[in-house]
Amino acid sequence: MHCVSSKHAVMMGSFCQGALLLSLAAAMAVYADMKVDCGPDFVTLMWTESRPQADTSLLRLGSCFPTSFSAGEAYFYVDLTDCNFRILVTGDVLLYSNDLTYVASDDSYNLAFTHPVVCAYERPKDWYSSQQIYDPVFKTYGLGDLQFTIGLMNDDFSGPAESTSFPLGSIIPIMASVVQKTHQPLLLLLEECVAATTPELYPESTMYPIISNKGCLLESVSSQSKFEPRQKSSEMRLSLQTFKFAMGEEVFIHCKLLAWDPNGLDNTKKACHFVKGHGWELLDNLAQSNLCDCCESKCKSRRQRSVASEKHGMVQKAVIGPFTITDVNS
C-alpha cells in the first residue's frame, strides 16, 4: 500500500501498512509534492521538486542524505533506527518523528525549510525499547490549532527518558515544544514552573519554584540548571539539576507554556538564566539581556496591554510526572 501526501495543502493523515502518516505542510510545499510510505521498520520518501534552481542533493531526512536524487527528485529509503528518528509512546500509539529539511547554500535563491514527518503505529503489547517513554511522563496538550508537548528526555535530548528516578544532584533533561499548523512562526517560552507532590495544584500544596517572574530560571542561581541553546524556535530544552524536595516521593512539575511572537520579547516574555560570572542572560539574544534585569525584582511589561497584543501568543498549562528524586547517601 502506498501513502501519498496531498499537494499544495496541509498534509492529511493516511493509513498504510498499519501506520498513520501525519505531516504538516511547510511554506515551501507549494513548490513540491511529497510521497511517503511508513513500512513496518522503514520509511520511504519521494520529494518531487518543481523549482528549476533547487538542488535536491541538499535535502536531508533527519541526519540522512538522499538515497538517490536527480534534477527534480530526491528519494529516501531509511530504517526507523537511523537518521535520528525520535520515538514517543502515548498509550497504545508508537510515534516515530523526524524532519525533512532543505539546506540552502549561501548563493542559492531558494529558501531553506523544514517539513515535519511523523509515522504512527499501533503499539505491540509486548513492545519495549530503551527509549520507551513511561506514561504519563510525556504529555501533549491541544490549544486551538497549536499542539503543546512537554516531557522528560534522555541525557542528549535524542529520545524520551529511560527512567523516572533521578539521584539528588543529577540533571533532569526536560523538553517542551509546540507544533504550529497554520500560525506564523512562534517562539516557545516557559513562563512558570513549580514542583509539587500532587498532579493538581491546590492552595495548600507544598511547592518548589523553578521558573518564576515571567521566565526567570530561579534554579540557575544556586545550581547547574540552565536553558540549553535552541535547536528551533518552537522548542525549549531545560537541564534541571535535581533539588532537595519531597525525597523519595512522587514529584510533578507544573508549567505554563507560552507560544509567542519571536519579535515581541519584553520583560514578561523571555527566557532568562543565571550564568556564573556573567549574571542573568537572555537565551535568545545576549544583546538584549537587559530584559532579564528584573529577575532580581518584579518583572512587569513596559508595554500597554491590548487586545491586539494578546493575539501574539497562547498560554497552555502542562504537567510533567510523576518522577522521584532519590538520595544516594540514604
Q: Answer yes or no: do 198 and 237 share one domain.
A: yes
Side chain identity, residue 103: V
On whether residue 1 sits in a domain, the answer given is no
Instruction: State which of 95, 122, 149 marks the end of a domain.
Output: 122
On whether residue 115 sits in a domain, the answer given is yes
On whether residue 265 sits in a domain, the answer given is yes
Sign of the CA dihedral with 255 first, then 260, 263, and 269 last: negative
Q: Answer yes or no: do 58 and 203 share one domain.
A: no
Q: Answer yes or no: do 172 and 286 share one domain.
A: yes
Q: Answer yes or no: do 117 and 148 share one domain.
A: no
Q: Answer yes or no: do 243 and 118 share one domain.
A: no
Q: Answer yes or no: do 245 and 317 share one domain.
A: yes
Domain count, the chain: 2
pLDDT at 37: 87
Task: Please give the full DSSP string across 145-173, using - where no structure is assigned.
Answer: TEEEEEEEB-TTSSSB-S-SEEETT-EEE
Question: d(Cα 99, Cα 59) in Å, to the nearest integer?
Answer: 10
Q: Answer yes or no: do 222 and 157 share one domain.
A: yes
Q: Give CA separation, 317 vs 128, 227, 257, 273, in Å.
A: 30, 19, 6, 21
CATH number of the domain within which 153 lies: 2.60.40.4100
On whether residue 168 sits in a domain, the answer given is yes
On whether residue 247 sits in a domain, the answer given is yes
Among 177, 251, 157, 175, residue whose Cα is nearest residue 208: 251
Q: Which residues pair with 72 in a beta bridge?
A: none
Query: How do the pLDDT tens digits run along the chain, 330 residues long?
Result: 334 333 222 222 333 333 333 333 333 344 567 888 888 888 999 988 877 777 888 888 988 888 888 888 899 999 888 888 887 766 667 788 888 888 766 555 666 777 888 888 876 665 544 333 333 344 555 555 677 888 898 899 888 888 899 999 999 999 998 876 655 678 899 999 999 999 888 888 889 999 999 999 999 999 999 999 998 888 999 999 999 999 999 999 999 999 888 888 899 999 999 999 999 999 999 999 999 999 999 998 765 433 333 444 688 888 998 999 998 776
Question: d(Cα 256, Cα 279) in Å, to the nearest integer?
Answer: 24
Q: Answer yes or no: do 76 and 191 share one domain.
A: no
Contacts of residue 216, Cβ cutoff 8 Å, sequence gap at least 6: 272, 280, 292, 295, 299
Q: Answer yes or no: do 143 and 117 share one domain.
A: no
Domain encompassing residue 47: 32-122
pLDDT at 141: 54
Helix or strand run (H / E) with residue 290: none
Instruction: State which of 56, 91, 122 marks the end of a domain.
Output: 122
Q: Answer yes or no: do 183 and 55 share one domain.
A: no
Q: Answer yes or no: do 98 and 146 share one domain.
A: no
CATH number of the domain within which 47 lies: 2.60.40.3210
Question: d(Cα 282, Cα 263) in Å, to the nearest integer?
Answer: 14
Question: d(Cα 253, Cα 225) in Å, to the nearest integer?
Answer: 15
Q: Answer yes or no: do 90 and 216 share one domain.
A: no
On whether residue 281 sits in a domain, the answer given is yes
On whether residue 7 sits in a domain, the answer given is no
On whether residue 152 sits in a domain, the answer given is yes
Instruction: State which of 122, 153, 170 marks the end of a domain.
Output: 122
Give the SS3 label for residue 77. strand
Q: Give CA separation, 132 vs 15, 139, 152, in Å.
A: 23, 14, 11
